[in-house]
Amino acid sequence: MPGLRASPPAFLLLLALAFPRGSLAVQELEPGSRSAAAAARVALLYRNFQAGSLGGLRALGQVRKATLKNIPESGHKYYLQFSTEDYRTGEDAGNCLATVLFPKKKSRPVVSIKCSHTKDQKEIQEEDNRFYQRIRHQSKPITANNIPDSYGNIEPALEPVWALAVAGSSSIMWEKSTETLGYFLAQVKSVRQWLRKDDFIEFDYTVLLHEIPTQEIISCHMRLTWLP
């Protein structure tokens, strides 16, 4: 389900409530700092997977406010306000308010995120349905390699396949992210569609993730099912 629509007054109220005040363990971060941007991307990875919407995928715009709180028993918690862009068009997609806790123990980040919307929810649903119908009405199962190609190009017929990979791999990247390691989807190395008798569509993917700052390329397999 897409995120909840928040009116401006409610969003400002949430912002006031979410940012901690008067704590000795709280540190104001430069909005342009690498750690603030990395935490915001983790929040968006979580949001993109949970939303399950190809038309509603978002990328990070700008971090507007960032605060770090050291919680001795738990870990480091980031309080963030940032803008987002439509993943495909780069157009303004709305603002988000999020908290990201990187636990001391080796476990996935704990994320809470609320976003406002500039795109109408009906428009997003229609876009999802167009993606879905394009995949469902293929004359034969989709198989492909190297998306995008070595020149950064994606064939129009494979755009829904790439968008699904972005949404699905967001879960892997969110779970693997730490305070010092981040991930980007570099390429779909291979993809194969499985035919189903129900309404779901299903794919096997091998994806390549770019690990930051190590610059390593990590190969991951995922099996993904989707229904708008």
Q: What are the tens digits of pLDDT across the range 51-104?
A: 888 888 999 999 999 999 998 888 999 999 999 999 888 889 899 999 999 998
Identify the H or E element spanning 40: helix 34-51
- pLDDT tens per residue, range 149-195: 988 899 988 988 999 999 999 999 999 999 999 999 999 999 999 98
Q: Identify the CA nearest to 84 among candidates 122, 43, 23, 26.
A: 43
Res 128 pLDDT > 70: yes
Between CA 87 and CA 123 the distance in angstroms is 15
Q: 25 pLDDT band (50/70/90 cuts)?
A: confident
To the nearest whole number, what is the mean pLDDT of the chain? 86
pLDDT of residue 139: 75
**Number of other CB atoms surrounding residue 52 within 10 Å:** 16
**Number of other CB atoms surrounding residue 74 within 10 Å:** 14
**Phi, psi values for residue 218, rounded to 5°:** -115, 130
pLDDT of residue 122: 85
